[in-house]
Amino acid sequence: MATDDLQLPTPHQLTIGDRELGLAATKLRPPASPTRLVSRTRLADILDQAVTAAVPLLLVSAPAGSGKTTMLAAWAAQCDRSVAWLQIEEGDSDPASFWSSLVAAIGRCRPDIAEQVGPLVAGSQGDDRVVVPALVNGLAETADLLAVVIDDYYLIDNANVQRGMERLIDLCPPQLTIVVSTRLDPPFRLGRMRVRDRITEVRADRLRFDTGEATALLGVAGETLSPERLDDLCSRTEGWAAGLVLAGLSLERATNPDGFVDAFRGDDQLVVSYLSDELLDAMSAGDRQRLLETAVLDHLTGPLIDAVAGSTDGTSWLANIANRNQLIVRLDNTGEWFRYHHLLRDLLLLEARRTIPARLPELHGRAADWFSKNGDQHQAVVHRYAAGDIPGAIQLMYVVGPDLLGRGQIRKLRGYLEQAGDAAATDAACALGWGWCEYLSSQYDSAKRWLDIALDVAPATFDPVIAAPLRINLALGSGDIATALESAREATSAGSLWQRPAELATAVGAAYAWAGMHDEAAEALTIAVTRSKAEQRLTAHVLALIHAAINEVENGDQAAAHTTAVEAVTTAEAFGLANYHGVAPAFAIRGRTAEDADVARVDVTHALELARRSTTDLGLAYVLTTCGDVLLEQGDDNGSALVVEARMRLDRCVDPGIAARYLARVESRHHRASPVTDTARSTRVQLTDRELAVLRYLPTRLTQRDIAAALYVSMNTVKTHSNSIFRKLGVSDRKSAVQAARDRHLL
């Protein structure tokens, strides 16, 4: 099977280099309690009751500023079961990113789950059909209770993620409670869940602060009001947490508290007018300026603020302003990372765009510099694009692009490449990234075009071997062994495969295996298996094993092929790749080499199911041939149709390598075609110089007329030489002649 997917590493564990970056870690834990935390026992009781009743979904759905996050964080701190926390951010809609982050969050409470399921996420590129059952099975293995809070879920807009989440809720074991906090209802079948008592809902009406809670939230400011005035304020804000917080900030300075309450309006328009008329105007010029400058940041820490705002006291300033304003959310207990409340940040950005628009690109650029220096190139590229610095963002893609590909986050990579616009076609790394994105989407013509662009625009310092895996995969996918073999030989001669990434050795070994070059394939695939295991390149490891099995079958070592195929299937199942069509040859070979006929039939059935998902002819034809052979050996004439289909597929390949010879043997053995002559590889064949010249063109798509033109001879001369080549090699057609010549090292 052609290596139809990019080789993937283990899932991103929210690390930069070998250390956990504080910013990333804040995604996996609740924000710290605000300075003035209000106990909301009535809400905690609702959540506790749902957990006790083993309700799978706790949906907390209310508008921004309702106090959802603070309430859930306080509940999590006192919950009698373990609580995993995931803070959703923009960009988490990529399935691989979402499930990787969710597994990492669960892993903080259940490390065994992260160890088991983490590789499945990367290997399956976040396929919920793989990840969800593994999560459910892992969580069901223990009696330990776990609640998983997913905050700001409204930012998820990917249908596959939504489908997976609903399936996780449907299959939810009693040990698990899923808490979804969102501004907008998720597109789950909530009506069905309500009928089945599988959901508890906390909405805006329940989140509204009553008078007692409002008094506690307002603190000293509330003491200036009578109970009647407090009731009025709650009524005007409709118990909206953000409105009460803003009212409290104004009450601290109000000379006429009662008059303020009479004029106060508790709606979203209040926030806009408040920020412009009171909050910002009431601040010192320095604080106001720094708030606007740092509004470009999703998250805040002292050194980052200093880098962006040009200050020297960012850490102390941030701590002081957070103590005074509950719309500054503390993200950890160490006081290192903070963020602005979403409402506050949105409105600070509006004000910044109104008052300092020309400075925003510069501020984003400073943020990008800081993140690059501190090892977070992903945040850096976001700010480069926001700064309008396309060349700077493109430079970062040399690091970010391969990392996203390795983590299976193709959707996010596409987003970055789309932001580069036409400039992507001027940079080798971006063009190569586009090539992989298109290839993984089965858009092979487009992938080939981007590969050509990458090589055309590559600077003199660009190592062309970097592009070899994609080139080889594309050639194998189209059944062009000659082109794949050419690239494999170039990569091998360029330097030791031991010093290269595992995916290169895997692709090179695959090319040699399909070309019938057993020794060269065995050497490259041994390197690939060893390197991919050491580098934890999951798909590379599985595909290296699969091609090793193909190589062993072709070499006649059935026992070794069976052992390797079994290992490939077992590894694929552990990595979440058992349903990936590229694994089909492993199931087919395991079935072909199995001693038990029933076991063989099960493997054949699964291999066919997987292979038919493939969009390439070479790998599908190989699986069809193998499965047809097994069925015919068992007396099942359904194998005949598979062999016929395999022939149709291979006829579309310009140079199918060993697959054509294998099919011819199967056809001959089962009397489905004219007998073929399988001349021993050791037989010496003498071709004339003219015949050798014609032979070199046979693996190409050139017609006999084209070959004649290239050699400046007549078409009759080419026909005569071709027939002589076929006769000497003991074959009857062009494709068989190519492989026979390759076996004798004539090509």
Dist. CA 224–CA 557, nearest whole Å: 89
Contact 502, 535 (CB under 8 A): yes
pLDDT of 431 > 90? The answer is yes
Segment 219-244 shows an average pLDDT of 74
User: Any residues with CB less than 8 A from the CB of 88 and at least 6 apart, and which?
Assistant: 98, 150, 151, 152, 153, 155, 156
Q: The tokens of 243 are what?
A: 């409105």
User: Any residues with CB less than 8 A from the CB of 386 and at least 6 apart, and which?
Assistant: 296, 360, 361, 364
What is the percentage of the chain residues whose pLDDT exceeds 90?
42
Task: List residues bridging with 147 in a β-sheet.
Answer: 83, 177
What is the percentage of the chain residues whose pLDDT exceeds 70?
90
- Judged by average pLDDT, the poorest of 52-66, 150-164, 388-402, 556-570 is 52-66
In this prediction, residue 424 carries a pLDDT of 94
In terms of C-beta density within 10 A (0-12 exposed, 13-18 middle, 19 or more buried), how is residue 318 classed?
buried
pLDDT of 744 > 80? The answer is no
DSSP states of 38-95: PP-HHHHHHHHHHHHTT-SEEEEE--TTSSHHHHHHHHHHH-SSEEEEEE--TTTTSH
Q: In the 8-state DSSP scheme, what is residue 34?
A: P
Convert the pLDDT of each residue in 592-620 to its tens digit.
999 999 999 999 999 999 998 877 889 99
**Angle, helices 211-218/241-251, rounded to nearest 10 degrees:** 50
pLDDT of 454 > 80? The answer is yes
Contact 228, 257 (CB under 8 A): no
In this prediction, residue 7 carries a pLDDT of 35
pLDDT of 395 > 50? The answer is yes
- H/E segment holding residue 716: helix 715-729
DSSP states of 380-434: HHHHHHHTT-HHHHHHHHHHHHHHHHHTT-HHHHHHHHHHHGGGGGG-HHHHHHH
Contact 72, 191 (CB under 8 A): no
In this prediction, residue 332 carries a pLDDT of 79
Strands (E), 533-591: none
Segment 490-498 shows an average pLDDT of 85
pLDDT of 201 > 70? The answer is yes
Segment 182-186 shows an average pLDDT of 90
pLDDT class for 625, splitting at 50, 70, 90?
A: very high
In this prediction, residue 509 carries a pLDDT of 95
Segment 329-348 shows an average pLDDT of 80
In this prediction, residue 278 carries a pLDDT of 59
Dist. CA 97–CA 102, nearest whole Å: 9
In this prediction, residue 416 carries a pLDDT of 95
Q: In the 8-state DSSP scheme, what is residue 33?
A: P
Q: Residue by residue, what is the 3-state secondary structure of 98-113?
A: HHHHHHHHHHCCCHHH
pLDDT of 426 > 70? The answer is yes
Contact 74, 40 (CB under 8 A): yes
pLDDT of 173 > 50? The answer is yes
In terms of average pLDDT, the best of 210-214, 516-520, 546-550, 703-707 is 546-550
pLDDT of 12 > 50? The answer is no
In this prediction, residue 720 carries a pLDDT of 80
pLDDT of 5 > 70? The answer is no
| 203 three-class SS | strand
pLDDT class for 11, splitting at 50, 70, 90?
A: very low
Domain 464-669: CATH architecture, name and number where available: Alpha Horseshoe (1.25)
The number of angstroms, rounded, from the C-alpha of 106 to the middle of its chain's C-alpha atoms is 18
Dist. CA 644–CA 628, nearest whole Å: 9
Phi, psi of 493 (to 5 degrees): -75, -20
Phi, psi of 166 (to 5 degrees): -65, -35
pLDDT of 741 > 90? The answer is no
Segment 321-336 shows an average pLDDT of 76
Cα dist from 487 to 389, 473, 491, whole Å: 35, 10, 6
Dist. CA 433–CA 436, nearest whole Å: 5
Q: Which residue has the higher pLDDT, 207 or 191?
A: 191
Dist. CA 84–CA 105, nearest whole Å: 6
In this prediction, residue 274 carries a pLDDT of 58
Q: Which residue has the higher pLDDT, 529 or 253?
A: 529
3-state class percentages of the chain: helix first, strand second, coil last, to nearest 5? 65, 5, 30
Q: Which residue has the higher pLDDT, 39 or 653?
A: 653
- Average pLDDT of the chain is 84
The label of the residue with tokens 């907008």 reads 184
Burial 134-150 (b: 16+ CB within 10 A, else e): bbbebbeeeeebbbbbb
pLDDT of 282 > 80? The answer is no
Segment 303-310 shows an average pLDDT of 95
pLDDT of 585 > 90? The answer is yes
Convert the pLDDT of each residue in 655-690 to its tens digit.
888 898 899 889 888 887 654 444 444 456 777 777
Convert the pLDDT of each residue in 683-739 to its tens digit.
567 777 777 777 777 777 778 887 777 777 777 787 887 777 877 787 777 777 777
In terms of C-beta density within 10 A (0-12 exposed, 13-18 middle, 19 or more buried), how is residue 36 classed?
middle
Dist. CA 252–CA 135, nearest whole Å: 50
In this prediction, residue 739 carries a pLDDT of 76
Dist. CA 531–CA 614, nearest whole Å: 27
In terms of average pLDDT, the best of 62-71, 90-99, 230-239, 530-539 is 90-99
In this prediction, residue 655 carries a pLDDT of 87
Rounded to whole angstroms, the maximal C-alpha distance in the chain is 109
Q: The tokens of 34 are what?
A: 């605000």
Task: List residues bridging with 537 in a β-sheet.
Answer: 9
Domain 689-743: CATH architecture, name and number where available: Orthogonal Bundle (1.10)
Give the number of other Cβ atoms within 10 Å of residue 559's Cβ.
9
In this prediction, residue 1 carries a pLDDT of 41
Segment 615-643 shows an average pLDDT of 91
Q: The tokens of 329 are what?
A: 């959310």
CATH homologous superfamily for the domain 31-205: P-loop containing nucleotide triphosphate hydrolases (3.40.50.300)
Segment 1-11 shows an average pLDDT of 36
In this prediction, residue 328 carries a pLDDT of 80
pLDDT of 10 > 50? The answer is no
Q: Which residue has the higher pLDDT, 246 or 463?
A: 463
Domain boundaries, the chain: 31-205, 211-282, 464-669, 689-743
Dist. CA 159–CA 482, nearest whole Å: 41
The number of angstroms, rounded, from the C-alpha of 47 to the middle of its chain's C-alpha atoms is 33
Q: In the 8-state DSSP scheme, what is residue 277?
A: I
Contact 308, 387 (CB under 8 A): no
